[in-house]
Amino acid sequence: MNILLFHPWNRFVMQNMDIQPIFNTTRHPILIAGPCSAETEEQVLATARGLALQPVDLFRAGIWKPRTRPDSFEGVGEVGLSWLRRVREETGLKVTTEVATADHVEKALAHEIDVLWIGARTSANPFSVQEVADALVGVDIPVMVKNPINPDLKLWLGAVERLYKSGIRRIAIIHRGFSYYGETQYRNTPRWQIPIEMKRLLPSVQLICDNSHICGRRDILAETAQKAMDLNFDGLMTEVHPVPDTAWSDAMQQITPEAYRHLIGNLVVRKASSDDPEFLAMIEQLRYQIDEIDEDMIQLLAKRMKLAEEIGNFKREKQIAILQTQRWNEVLEKGLRLGKQYGLSKAFMTALLKTIHQESINHQAFVMNEQLVREAENGLRRGVVFEEEESD
Ligand code: PEP
Ligand code: MN
């Protein structure tokens, strides 16, 4: 993960970027909603009419769709831009679409699209971001930058900087989660500490949560939006479709205008009336980061114990003793050296390493004890033997 807290280059970023809001609105949060893709003129207008009755700032619809695999619906293309124009004329909503090439930019500008956004696959590619940025030289239009699909804070920041260097000043960032190979409840895991760090580096940038692409499913959209509010995000981007199950892309995560009204209506938005909201928000953000680090630490410890068990298996086969004093000394020495380097006290490091080592020994002892292994195989015991169990 990219925690760049003390890098001098950060100070350069913070002091020099004068990023302005994409809108001047008194509403908090900023609300962006609309279908994943523009499919037909009727579907676009039906969604917009449903949303126009609600507090929405910006209507979204993808015209050019970057799809993970070929033969998926890749967007209606330029004709969709005229549908977005109709949305604005009919409902008064501002409109936004995704651009990935200079040609997209040129066409979107020709159709007077109000705001552009750069998608997650595009912001992962500096050549593409540069192409878009070059096409925007001399143009004053707000641009929203989604995080790249991979959890690389510098790449996200780099995309913002490329636009900034082209003269774009109204820039927002959109957190849409990160690709993850493995099991999670999310389509794209949120890793909240990354957008929080972006906001710390770029304090004036508006930070928007795309709960639809983080979740990939409807049932956790509301709790994810709430988490973004608790973390003091500036806005939400949510995919809305008149008949979500029939959507041509991202059907599982889209909701009806009615469900959207419900979701927004139930959000608890932080009130500005508490003692010092900025301070409270900061504490909240730091606590979330601490919770996430704790979770990572526990997962890593569990992984370490699995490795210790593998070693236990080898030792059992070769009839070798568990405690290898020389190895333990090496682990301890290395740990103390590293701890010192990171400003952690010797007493803390010693206690920590001893506890971890003891737990590793317990895990090894479990796999080396034939009797316990047999019992585990017979389903009499699950997992390792903990001290409380042994004292029974
Ligand atoms: C989208 O907004 O529909 C989209 C394609 O999102 P992302 O770039 O976040 O995958
Ligand atoms: Mn989508």
Terminal CA-to-CA distance of the chain, rounded, Å?
Answer: 43
Kindly state the tokens that stand for 174. 């959109």
pLDDT of residue 289 exceeding 70, the answer is yes
Residues 261 and 281 in one domain: no
Establish whether residue 213 lines the binding site of ligand 1, counting it when its CB lies within 6 angstroms of any ligand atom: yes
Compute CA distances 124 → 17, 164, 317, whole Å: 21, 17, 48
pTM for the whole structure: 0.71
| % of the chain exceeding 90 in pLDDT | 72
Establish whether residue 241 lines the binding site of ligand 1, counting it when its CB lies within 6 angstroms of any ligand atom: no
Residue 153: the pLDDT is 97
- Does some domain include residue 330? yes
pLDDT of residue 67 exceeding 80, the answer is yes
pLDDT of residue 16 exceeding 80, the answer is no
Give SS3 for 305: helix
pLDDT of residue 324 exceeding 60, the answer is yes
pLDDT of residue 63 exceeding 50, the answer is yes
pLDDT mean over 57-71:
93
Which domain range does residue 175 map to? 8-265
Element spanning 95, H or E: strand 94-98
pLDDT of residue 206 exceeding 60, the answer is yes
- Does some domain include residue 387? no
Cα–Cα distance measured from residue 237 to residue 268, given in angstroms and rounded to the nearest whole number: 16
Distance 273 CA to ligand 1 centre (A): 35
pLDDT of residue 15 exceeding 60, the answer is no
- Does some domain include residue 390? no
What is the position in ligand 1's atom list of the atom closest to the CA of 65?
A: 5
- Does some domain include residue 270? no
- CB neighbours of 8 closer than 8 A, spacing ≥ 6? none
Beta pairing, strands 58-60 & 30-34: parallel
- Does some domain include residue 122? yes
Ligand closest to Cα of 67 equals: 1
Residue 261's domain is classified under what CATH number? 3.20.20.70
Distance 28 CA to ligand 1 centre (A): 23
Last residue in a domain, options 231, 265, 299: 265
Residues 121 and 224 in one domain: yes
Ligand 1, atom 1, residue with closest C-alpha: 36
pLDDT of residue 391 exceeding 50, the answer is no
Establish whether residue 142 lines the binding site of ligand 1, counting it when its CB lies within 6 angstroms of any ligand atom: no
The better pLDDT of the pair 282, 247 is held by 247
Residue 125: the pLDDT is 98
Mean pLDDT of the chain: 90
Residue 325: the pLDDT is 86
Residue 318: the pLDDT is 81
**150 within 8 A of 122, measured Cβ to Cβ:** no
- Does some domain include residue 1? no
What is the position in ligand 1's atom list of the atom closest to the CA of 62?
A: 3
- The lowest-confidence range among 159-163, 311-315, 322-326, 356-360 is 322-326
pLDDT of residue 174 exceeding 80, the answer is yes
Residues 243 and 308 in one domain: no
pLDDT of residue 372 exceeding 70, the answer is no
Q: How many CB atoms lie within 10 A of CB 239?
A: 28
Residues 188 and 287 in one domain: no
For 243-277, write each residue's pLDDT tens digit: 999 999 999 999 999 999 999 999 999 664 467 88
Mutate to test the pocket of ligand 1, among 175, 180, 210 (most ligand atoms within 8 A of CB): 210
Residue 204: the pLDDT is 93
- Does some domain include residue 271? no
- Does some domain include residue 187? yes
Residue 105: the pLDDT is 98
pLDDT of residue 3 exceeding 70, the answer is no
Residues 186 and 281 in one domain: no
Residues 107 and 240 in one domain: yes
Q: What is the dihedral of CA 49, 50, 54, 55, to 10 degrees?
A: -70
Residues 241 and 134 in one domain: yes
Residue 373's domain is classified under what CATH number? 1.20.59.10
Compute CA distances 217 → 44, 45, 185, 254, 288, whole Å: 21, 24, 9, 8, 23
For 80-132, write each residue's pLDDT tens digit: 999 999 999 999 999 999 999 999 999 999 999 999 999 999 999 999 999 99
- The lowest-confidence range among 7-21, 212-226, 276-290, 334-348 is 7-21
Distance 197 CA to ligand 1 centre (A): 22
